């Protein structure tokens, strides 16, 4: 992906001044212009979708998304504990 962005003139690689083993990636002028356009597209999308909801609906959506995020986190932790294969690890997560 980085190579494609570099070919497209969006980013450029430069060696790190302090550690020549490292390569830093920077946005070019074209990359900064694209970032501005993408931010505007995202802003317009949110305004045209979530922005049309009432305040109470937005609060409810936030609550549901928070709940979903917590459920996903618990599932990921449980999956990690399950891969260890100990009953104690699974019980600690539950």
Mean pLDDT per 10-residue segment, the chain (94 residues): 97 94 96 98 97 97 98 93 52 44
pLDDT at position 82: 63
Q: What angle do CA 75, 76, 82 make, to 5 degrees?
A: 85
Instruction: Count CB-CB contacts under 10 A for residue 17.
Output: 8
Q: How far apart are CA 71 and CA 56, in angstroms?
A: 23
Regarding pTM above 0.85, the answer is no
Q: How far apart are CA 49 and CA 41, in angstroms?
A: 12
What's the token pair of residue 64?
A: 């549901």
3-state helix, strand, coil in the chain (%, to 5): 70, 10, 20
pLDDT at position 89: 47
pLDDT at position 88: 46
Q: How far apart are CA 2 and CA 7, in angstroms?
A: 9
């Amino acid at each position: 992906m980085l190579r494609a962005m570099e070919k497209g003139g969006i980013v450029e690689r430069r060696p790190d001044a302090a550690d020549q083993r490292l390569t830093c990636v920077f946005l070019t002028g074209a990359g900064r212009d694209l970032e501005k356009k993408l931010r505007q597209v995202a802003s317009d999308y949110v305004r045209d979708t979530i922005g049309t909801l009432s305040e109470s609906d937005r609060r409810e959506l936030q609550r549901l998304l928070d709940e979903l995020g917590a459920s996903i986190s618990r599932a990921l932790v449980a999956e990690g504990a399950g891969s260890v294969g100990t009953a104690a690890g699974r019980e600690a997560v539950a």
